[in-house]
Amino acid sequence: MEQRLAPNTKLSEARLCETFGVGRMRVRRALLLLSSQGLIELQSNRGAYVACPDKSEANDVFAARMLIEPPLVRQLAQSSSDIDLTVLVDHIALEDAARIQNERTEIIRLSGEFHTKLAQASGNKFVFRMMRELVTRTSLIVGLFGSSQNASCPDDEHNNILKAIQTKNAELAEQLLISHLNHIQSGLDMESRQEPQDDLAAILGMD
Amino acid sequence: MEQRLAPNTKLSEARLCETFGVGRMRVRRALLLLSSQGLIELQSNRGAYVACPDKSEANDVFAARMLIEPPLVRQLAQSSSDIDLTVLVDHIALEDAARIQNERTEIIRLSGEFHTKLAQASGNKFVFRMMRELVTRTSLIVGLFGSSQNASCPDDEHNNILKAIQTKNAELAEQLLISHLNHIQSGLDMESRQEPQDDLAAILGMD
DNA sequence: AACTTGACGATTGTTAACAATCTTTGTCAA
DNA sequence: TTGACAAAGATTGTTAACAATCGTCAAGTT
């Protein structure tokens, strides 16, 4: 979610065990769950590797988001009276703060999380879960194909979307979100690729 | 998926091990995956139970499907030229055959599978996965709240939807699907509840 | 008679040793 | 020098024994 583990990075069980101070069972359970979400790939007798989406999968993710997110935002704007949007307001404040302090991983994480919280605001558990999966997957893709500059969402677009929802302008909110997704996707360079990295350094920075 | 296991049915590890002739590891992996999809509930130190959705969750599932499936079908109808619909044609033939022979569990399974294959026809892996989860969840709900008669989708509606897609009538296809979902939902009796059952008989019928 | 407490049984959670598989390295020959 | 083959090492997959937790039943007390 923070793009600290590059695609194709190997996640060896022993390494994870000692890194997190945990038995193999816990690690294997975690790996199984991650693989069920498509975030890692479990190769038989070969180990776990961070998923490496190709061009086609990247397109599928954005196509799926284009299918779900616009109707979601539209619906959110139409029924925003009985919905608590303070979470989103606070979240944008966090995004701004992280941008000012230039905390790269934090900015990336929060950028994705905005869309997740958008889904959460719908109050629908399943919509929330689906969006969370798509957003984490998007993080992987942006980390792979994104130019280093625009690894996050453009600055004010989140805020504009939220304002459109608050003023119940459903049509505008939907349009803003569509172009927002287009901006993210068009900022990708589908030819560039990143090479696998050693996991030790990245993970050890965690604790 | 076939509504043979009633909600709240306990799935004991030992029972599953001997039933399927498999070690505990396999069983626990399966249970973990099922719980990650929300099909069963893993209670700590207490075991696994078939999920028992309440009224609110049932509404959420249908709301989520209402959000995704109509745009999906619309899109499918608009771009059906380069899409292979023979799978769906064949599938409806299977449904009819099962209906004629009055194979209850088969009818239920195929009814749900139609919607899954609809998503699969989009060629989008993520849309497919999401719909599959929603459909299996719907099976649980119909098994819980559905009257025994309309446990499956109404007879010709699937066929009508497919025809609308084939003739590229996007608007009609979307409308047909919306009312189809409404028919399923309105056929539910939100007050009725089914009691947990013993799992032995149901599972042993499998092999 | 009803409630609390304790022990027993059953079930799940964990650990560690073992087996199987793959990768790497080294040796030998062409 | 390069290729193939074989053995050793490392890593994952599985099994089985052990530990911990929970529910139940019985006994005792209020």
Strand A40-43 vs strand A47-50: parallel, antiparallel, or unpaired?
antiparallel
Closest-CA distance of chain A to residue B99, Å: 31
Radius of gyration of chain B (CA): 18
Token couple for A131: 């969006």
Strand partners, B10: B49
pLDDT digits (tens), chain B, 207 positions: 888 888 999 999 999 999 999 999 999 999 999 999 999 999 999 999 999 999 999 999 999 999 999 999 999 999 867 788 999 999 999 999 999 998 888 888 999 999 999 999 999 999 999 999 999 999 989 888 877 666 566 778 999 999 999 999 999 999 999 999 999 999 898 887 666 666 655 565 555
In angstroms, the CA of B167 and the C1' of D30 are apart by 81
CA of A1 to C1' of D11 (A): 27
Distance in angstroms (rounded) separating the CA atoms of residues A175 and A138 = 20
Distance of alpha carbon A136 from alpha carbon B118, whole angstroms: 25
A128: helix, strand or coil: helix
Q: What is the pLDDT along chain A (207 residues), one digit of tens a residue?
A: 888 888 999 999 999 999 999 999 999 999 999 999 999 999 999 999 999 999 999 999 999 999 999 999 999 999 867 788 899 999 999 999 999 998 888 888 999 999 999 999 999 999 999 999 999 999 989 888 877 666 566 778 999 999 999 999 999 999 999 999 999 999 898 887 666 666 655 565 555
Which H or E element spans position A61?
helix A55-78
Beta carbons of B154 and B180 less than 8 angstroms apart: yes
Distance, CA of A121 to CA of A17 (rounded, Å):
36
Residue A156 CA to residue B128 CA, distance in Å, equals 33
Chain B interface includes A57 (CB < 8 A): yes
- Answer yes or no: are the C-beta atoms of B68 and B187 closer than 8 Å: no
Using alpha carbons, select from A180, A98, A188, A184 the residue that is nearest to residue A147.
Answer: A188
Distinct helix (H) and strand (E) counts, chain A: 9, 3
> What protein residues sit with their CB closer than 7 Å to strand C?
A 23-26, 44-46; B 12-14, 24, 28, 42, 44-48
Contact B103, B88 (CB under 8 A): no
Q: How far apart are CA B181 and CA B158, in angstroms?
A: 11
CB spacing of B33 vs A36 below 8 angstroms: yes
SS3 B82: helix
**What confidence tens digit (pLDDT) does each residue in A15-52 have?**
999 999 999 999 999 999 999 999 999 999 999 999 99
Give the E-state strand segments of A34-166 in sequence order. 40-43, 47-50
- Cα separations in angstroms, B112 against A85, B56, B139: 35, 21, 7
Domains of chain A, first to last: 10-52+194-204 (1.10.10.10), 55-186 (1.20.120.530)
Question: Which pTM value belongs to this model?
Answer: 0.90
- Chain centroid to CA A167: 27
> In the beta sheet, which residues pair with residue A10?
A49
How far is it, in rounded angstroms, from Cα A145 to Cα A58?
9
User: CA of A28 and C1' of C16: distance in angstroms?
Assistant: 16
CB < 7 A to strand D: residues 24-83, chain A: 24, 28, 42, 44-48
Residue in chain A nearest B132 by alpha carbon: A130
Contact B126 A33 (CB under 8 A): no
